[in-house]
Every structure is written in C-alpha cells, then in structure tokens.
C-alpha cells in the first residue's frame, strides 16, 4: 500500500471513529444492541417474491453499497444467503433517522424493517419503514471495483475475502454440504463416528514426517497425528465393525496447491468386507457429495469436463504403467536388477534401497498420474509402498490396495487391511530398517497396535480420503488454500 493510501485509510478510520463517538454520546451506541428481530433472509425473498410481495419483513446484514441523493437512497444489504436492495425515503423514515442514515458507511451492519416490492427496474427490494445500526464498521472495505484480489491477503484476512467475494462464501457453504452428505451416507449405512487421539507417542499409519511437541507434565515428546488408521483399526478389533472419523491430520512437509500442513480427512473401516466393498463406498461418497454440492454428477474442473457418474474406471498399476510408459513390469516380476536397468532407461531416480516394487511405483508416479483425468481406481500396488495392506492372493509382491485418481491427483486410498499380526510385525521391522537408514517418513513399530491384532481382527476394508481435495474438485478450486478457511501462512515480518 502506498504512503498516500495509508494516509487516506488512516483518515477514513478517524472519521468513522468520530461518527461512532457521536452516536455513543447521543445514546445510540450500536455496540449496545445485543440482538435483532430478523424474521427472514434475502434469498427467501428474492426466490419467492410472489409469497412476500407487499408483506412486512425484518432483515439484517451488511451494507455493501449506498447510492442516491436528496431524500431517496438505495442500499445493497447482504446476509449469509445473498443480496437484497433496500429503498429508503426521507418521508418514510423521518428527518432524524434519514439524516443519520446518510452518515452511515459501507460496511456497517444494519437491521431493516419494511415491505417487499419491485422497483420500476424490476428489482426485488425492501421499502424501508424502519432501520437501525447493529454494528459500526471502523475499517473501510477494499475499493469497490478492484476488491480484494491479492491471494496472500485473501487467505490471511479470510473475513474480508468472504465479504468482498461472494463466491468464496459459496465455496465454504458447499464444503459444509459435502461433509454433511458424507456423514449422512455413512450414518445411514450403520457406521459409528468416533474421535481418536490427536497426540500420540508414535507417528504411525502413514509414511509422513510428523510435527513434534512436548508434554510438560509427563516430560514426554509427542507427535501430532499423521493418520487415524491404527486407532480406528483397534476399534474394529474391539467389535465396533463399522467406524469412521472426520478430522484434522498434521504433516510437517512441503506446501503447494495440493498440500497444507494441516488438512482434513475421512478414514473409514468396515469389518467383513474388502477392497471391493471400499470401492463401492468411495464411489457412492464422491458421487453423492457432487450431487449435494452441485445438483449434477457432471462438472467442470479448471476447464476440463469431469464425469462422476458411476461406476468409475479401474486399472492395475502394472497395466497402467504398461499403457503409459511402455514397460511391462509383470515380465520381470520381482527382479530388482532388471527394474533398475529399466529405471535407468526411463531416467527415473532410484535410491540404493529401492526394489522392484519401489521402481514400479516410481514409474507410475512419473508416467501415469498425469494422464488420470477422469475418476480411475488404480489397484494392485507393490508391497514396498503399502506396509499396512494385506497381500494379494496368489502374488506376495503385490497388495490388495487402490488409490482413486481424478484430475491427475490422488483423492482416496484404500486397503484390504492386513490382519495377520506376524506379517504386520515383519513389515514394521522393515519400516524401522528404512528409518534407521535415514528415511524419516518410515513407520515406527506400534507395539500396542500389534497387541490388538494378536487378539484377532476380522477381515476388514479401510479407506481414507482427503476432504480438502474432494472440496477442491467439487467447487472447481485450483488451490487447497481456496477450500481451507484459514490456511497455514507464514507470519508477516514486522
């Protein structure tokens, strides 16, 4: 902001404070008003004019524009549902009220009483017969025609972003509908919604770098959770059979248009089913959420038409790599040396500890993901990248897992869950070997979880989905920061 703009802004703030002081000194302090008699909303009126025509209503919201002169004034008042025009006349309000109204500022919050009508221009409006201020805006809103455009400032001051950009409010309304639809679907299917610890002494359930904190009373370092999986599967052991949790996860990793350090996921687990059952659940959740948010299952995302009609396409990872990279990994199944030769030919970066399965997964990430625009389930992952998944029957190098990809990014991840405690211990030990070799994202051994598995866990299917990415898809949002109300931001240096 220029020095001149700072002066103007400071000057306007002072004028607004003086207006407030004058109101307070005359016994009309808006901040002493505690409630409103509002009985309807803007959208109710604009969508149902015939029902409201000529009727008296009371409405409340923020004034976002004022125009007119003399003894007639028009204002645009916005509430949570949208905009409605206010028509105010000196003759109806009287000299004292109308004189005060002329001094009000854009941004002030008001209650308006009046009757509904249409202007000569055909705009549904409220003819004010009474008006009072409910709160004084002491800071001016961004300039009308340019608005709040700077992305960094929009994310830092989301409250101003929502005031100035109505489509932002719509995005977060859709987010609410999406989360509500997920809950409705799972509750109707007999799932229990539960809450598991955010703080833990072990960062398990995913390959990710955790945030570390310290518990003073216990004098103990603890982790913010990177996944809810291991606790939820304990509940399957305990006999709950169908459980889910919608909650925040925390990963101390990079930030970009797809990643925020704290994000929202849903994880769900169901006993006596497998990967196929989770596919059905996942398709239903995505399709139903799209309908709830948009009223259709055919949408546009960043200029590309996406069909979320059921069923979604399905491919194995090896078939996908064969199609898009031209290499058939099944022809040298488990041959790490051959895989490293292929990796060299494909210019893939590999670590010394990488094996056949790691290289297959790297080839997939490099050559396939960018082609998965329409919803596609990728199945049969290598065991190396799936330490909590049951082996594929007939092929111990692969596991019964899928990831759902839409618009070139992963949306959901699901397993036929590993319930063999001996196999699980061996996989944890392999993860610890990787951790000791320098992989700080590898899993630790969770002895209590292994104890739970030793009591016996029924065959189980499990699925995790990023709520933020789902909302991005269903609201045509380019960045994860557009769908997180208050995304993580670096503090402004003073």
Percent of the chain with pLDDT over 70: 97
Q: Give the pLDDT of residue 56.
A: 98
Give the tens place of pLDDT for each residue, 285-310. 999 999 999 999 999 999 999 999 99
Q: Give the pLDDT of residue 9.
A: 67
Tell me whether domains 3-141 and 164-312+374-482 share a fold. no
The residue that leads in pLDDT, 343 or 203, is: 343
Q: Give the pLDDT of residue 68.
A: 86
CATH class of this structure's domain 164-312+374-482: alpha beta
Mean pLDDT of 422-428: 92
Q: Give the pLDDT of residue 255.
A: 92
User: How buried is residue 120: exposed, middle or buried, by Cβ count under 10 Å (0-12/13-18/19+)?
Assistant: exposed
Give residue 2's pLDDT band: very low, low, confident or very high (50, 70, 90). very low
Give the tens place of pLDDT for each residue, 384-399. 998 888 999 999 999 9
Q: Give the pLDDT of residue 193.
A: 98
Mean pLDDT of 258-264: 95
pLDDT at 47 over 90: yes
Q: Give the pLDDT of residue 148.
A: 65
CATH class of this structure's domain 3-141: mainly beta
Give residue 143's pLDDT band: very low, low, confident or very high (50, 70, 90). confident
Give residue 439's pLDDT band: very low, low, confident or very high (50, 70, 90). confident
- Compute the mean pLDDT over every residue in the chain, rounded to the nearest whole number: 94
Residues in the chain: 494
Q: Give the pLDDT of residue 425.
A: 94
Query: CB 146: neighbour CB atoms within 10 A?
Result: 8
Q: Give the pLDDT of residue 465.
A: 98
Q: Of 29-33, 92-96, 428-432, where does mean pLDDT reach its minimum? A: 428-432
Q: Give the pLDDT of residue 325.
A: 97
Give residue 144's pLDDT band: very low, low, confident or very high (50, 70, 90). low
Mean pLDDT of 423-442: 86
Report domain extents, the chain. Answer: 3-141, 164-312+374-482
Q: Give the pLDDT of residue 362.
A: 97
Give residue 224's pLDDT band: very low, low, confident or very high (50, 70, 90). very high
Percent of the chain with pLDDT over 90: 87
pLDDT at 147 over 60: no
Mean pLDDT of 218-244: 97
Give residue 7's pLDDT band: very low, low, confident or very high (50, 70, 90). very low
């Amino acid at each position: 902001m220029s020095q001149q703009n700072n002066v103007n802004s400071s000057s306007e703030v002072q004028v607004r404070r003086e207006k407030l002081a004058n109101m307070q000194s005359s016994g009309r302090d808006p901040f002493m008003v505690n409630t409103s008699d509002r009985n309807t909303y803007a959208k109710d009126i604009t969508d149902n004019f015939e029902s409201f025509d000529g009727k008296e209503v009371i409405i409340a919201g923020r004034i976002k524009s004022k125009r007119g002169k003399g003894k007639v004034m028009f204002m645009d008042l916005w509430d949570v549902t949208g905009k409605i025009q206010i028509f105010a006349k000196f003759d109806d309000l009287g000299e004292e009220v109308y004189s005060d109204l002329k001094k009000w500022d854009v941004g002030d919050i008001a209650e308006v009483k009046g009757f509904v009508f249409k202007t000569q221009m055909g705009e549904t409006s409220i003819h004010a017969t009474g008006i009072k201020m409910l709160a004084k805006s002491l800071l001016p809103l961004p300039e009308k025609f340019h608005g709040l455009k700077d992305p960094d400032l929009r994310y830092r001051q989301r409250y101003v972003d929502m005031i100035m950009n109505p489509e932002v409010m719509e995005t977060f309304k859709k987010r609410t509908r999406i989360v509500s639809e997920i809950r409705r679907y799972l509750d109707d299917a007999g799932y229990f919604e539960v809450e598991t610890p955010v703080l833990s002494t072990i960062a398990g359930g995913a390959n990710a770098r955790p945030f570390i904190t310290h518990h003073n009373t216990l004098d103990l370092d603890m982790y913010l959770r990177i996944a809810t999986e291991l606790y939820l599967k304990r509940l399957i052991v305990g006999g709950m059979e169908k459980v889910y949790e919608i909650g925040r996860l925390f990963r101390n990793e990079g930030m970009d248009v797809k990643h925020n350090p704290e994000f929202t996921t849903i994880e769900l687990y169901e006993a006596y089913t497998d990967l196929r059952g989770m596919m059905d659940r996942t398709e239903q959740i995505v399709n139903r959420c799209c309908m709830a948010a948009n009223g259709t299952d055919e949408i546009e995302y960043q200029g590309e038409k996406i069909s979320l009609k059921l069923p979604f396409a399905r491919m194995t990872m090896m078939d996908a790599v064969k199609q898009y990279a031209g290499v058939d990994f099944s022809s040298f199944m488990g041959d790490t040396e051959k895989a490293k030769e292929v990796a060299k030919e494909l210019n893939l970066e590999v670590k010394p500890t990488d094996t056949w399965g790691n290289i297959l997964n790297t080839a997939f990430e490099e050559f396939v993901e960018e082609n998965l625009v329409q919803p596609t389930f990728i199945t049969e992952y290598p065991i190396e990248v799936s330490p909590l998944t049951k082996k594929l029957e007939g092929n111990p190098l692969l596991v019964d897992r899928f990831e759902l990809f839409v618009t070139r990014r992963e949306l959901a991840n699901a397993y036929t869950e590993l319930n063999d405690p001996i196999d699980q211990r061996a996989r944890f030990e392999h993860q610890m070997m990787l951790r000791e070799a320098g992989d700080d994202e590898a899993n630790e051994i969770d002895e209590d979880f292994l104890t739970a598995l030793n009591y016996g866990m029924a065959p189980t299917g499990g699925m995790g989905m990023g709520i933020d990415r789902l909302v991005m898809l269903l609201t045509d949002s380019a960045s994860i920061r557009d769908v997180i109300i208050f995304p993580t931001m670096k503090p402004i240096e003073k």
